[in-house]
């Protein structure tokens, strides 16, 4: 079996100066009157569920068109990208990749690409924005912070100021910039918690939205619903990722504990019930690793559980 890439390695390889954006959305029109077992892909798309393509990175590295077809066949309506480099997405021009997605009846909502914490020039941000507009994305999401930029409150504050500038560039281009959390942002740095005391405090809510990852927030010891209620309107994107076990807050997380949505212990019904308070626009399934070694089976479980147990 192909060796798994870590998110950090993947982002450093594929994102040589770019931003990223988000994927998943409205799930209205979900009551078709048909039993869940009879629903086909066209019905499932009415739920508006998206997939972060990092989830199927090994398959997509081997066969881009074939993997996208499988994602579409499962009933996913939206995709969030995770490979932007040198003006191309997964090795394709924006126009070429968008056509593949359009032909499958899906939509590109966002894109995860790397913007290092030390900052990005506004000129390069404009190029990124132009490419993401071409591909039809609505969101560009910063999905990671390098370790050396997490050491002081001042380093987080510099990033927040930089991201506000990037957010303005993106907004001027018709895009929304945002940040996807892991768990390290909730660790105390110099007496402060960067996620709350810097990011949500100093980021301009109109220029930088938050893509709240339910697994990582939970693993850091926080209830996503409590976060949403304390900071209403700040979370346009939900990353739906489950955990097999409930454990005390910790920051060295084994990815073997990441589960398909609905197969673990996270209460997604409660979280999604707070979507209006959050300002949520899109929901995105993401799974960093498969305990059973078959990600296609797992993304099938996630969309089945969402459409038969959680969103109904």
d(CA 214, CA 219): 9
Question: Has residue 138 been placed in a domain?
Answer: yes
Average pLDDT for residues 81-90, to the nearest whole number? 95
Question: Has residue 11 been placed in a domain?
Answer: no
Question: Has residue 209 been placed in a domain?
Answer: yes
- Burial of residue 151 (CB within 10 Å: 0-12, 13-18, 19+) is exposed
For residue 311, count other CB atoms closer than 10 A to its CB.
17
* Containing structural domain, residue 294: 17-310
Q: How many domains does the chain have?
A: 1
Tell me what pLDDT residue 20 has.
33
Tell me what pLDDT residue 41 has.
62
Helix ranges, 25-121 (H):
41-45, 57-62, 64-74, 94-103
- 26: pLDDT strictly greater than 70: no
Comparison of pLDDT for 2 and 276, the residue scoring more:
276
- 19: pLDDT strictly greater than 50: no
Length of the chain in terms of residues written = 312
Question: Has residue 95 been placed in a domain?
Answer: yes
**Given pLDDT bands bounded at 50, 70 and 90, which one contains residue 8?**
very low
For 190-219, how does the pLDDT look when each residue is reduced to its tens digit (9 = 90+)? 999 999 999 999 999 999 999 999 999 999
- Residue 206: both structure tokens together: 């109109």
Question: Has residue 1 been placed in a domain?
Answer: no
CATH code of residue 132: 3.20.20.150
For 27-75, how does the pLDDT look when each residue is reduced to its tens digit (9 = 90+)? 334 333 434 434 456 689 999 999 999 999 999 999 999 999 999 999 9
Structure-token match 């499958």, residue found: 104
Q: Strands, DSSP E only, in the chain?
A: 49-52, 78-81, 84-85, 88-89, 107-112, 139-142, 176-180, 208-213, 237-240, 242-243, 258-259, 282-285
d(CA 201, CA 197): 6
Residues whose CB falls within 8 Å of the CB of residue 193, separated by 6 or more in sequence, listed in order: 185, 186, 187
For 259-294, how does the pLDDT look when each residue is reduced to its tens digit (9 = 90+)? 999 999 999 999 999 999 999 999 999 999 999 999
Question: Has residue 97 been placed in a domain?
Answer: yes
For 214-262, how does the pLDDT look when each residue is reduced to its tens digit (9 = 90+)? 999 999 999 999 999 999 999 999 999 999 998 766 667 677 899 999 9
Tell me what pLDDT residue 251 has.
66
Give the angle 290-147-199 at the CA atoms, nearest 5°: 95
**Given pLDDT bands bounded at 50, 70 and 90, which one contains residue 115?**
low
Tell me what pLDDT residue 31 has.
39
């Amino acid at each position: 079996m192909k060796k798994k890439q870590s998110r950090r390695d993947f982002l450093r390889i594929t994102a040589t100066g770019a931003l990223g954006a988000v994927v998943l959305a409205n799930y209205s029109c979900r009551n078709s009157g048909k039993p869940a077992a009879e629903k086909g892909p066209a019905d499932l798309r009415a739920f508006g569920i998206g997939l972060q393509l990092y989830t199927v990175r090994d398959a997509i590295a081997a066969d881009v068109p074939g993997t996208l077809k499988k994602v579409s066949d499962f009933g996913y309506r939206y995709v969030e990208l995770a490979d932007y480099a040198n003006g191309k997405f997964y090795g394709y021009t924006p126009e070429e990749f968008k056509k593949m997605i359009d032909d499958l009846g899906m939509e590109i909502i966002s894109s995860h690409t790397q913007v290092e914490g030390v900052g990005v020039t506004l000129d390069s941000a404009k190029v990124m924005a132009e490419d993401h507009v071409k591909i039809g994305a609505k969101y560009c999401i910063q999905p990671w912070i390098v370790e050396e930029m997490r050491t002081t409150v001042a380093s987080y504050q510099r990033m927040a100021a930089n991201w506000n500038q990037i957010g303005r560039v993106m907004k001027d281009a018709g895009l929304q910039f945002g940040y996807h959390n892991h768990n390290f942002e909730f660790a105390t740095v110099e007496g402060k918690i960067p996620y709350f005391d810097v990011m949500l405090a100093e980021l301009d809510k109109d220029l930088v939205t938050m893509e709240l990852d339910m697994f990582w927030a939970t693993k850091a010891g926080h209830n996503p619903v409590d976060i949403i209620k304390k900071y209403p309107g700040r979370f346009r994107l939900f990353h739906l990722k489950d955990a097999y076990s409930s454990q005390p807050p910790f920051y060295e997380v084994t990815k073997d504990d990441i589960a398909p949505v609905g197969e673990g212990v996270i209460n997604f019904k409660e979280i999604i019930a707070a979507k209006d308070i959050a300002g949520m626009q899109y929901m995105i399934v993401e799974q960093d690793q498969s305990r059973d070694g078959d990600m296609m089976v797992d993304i099938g479980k996630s969309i089945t559980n969402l459409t038969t147990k959680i969103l109904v």
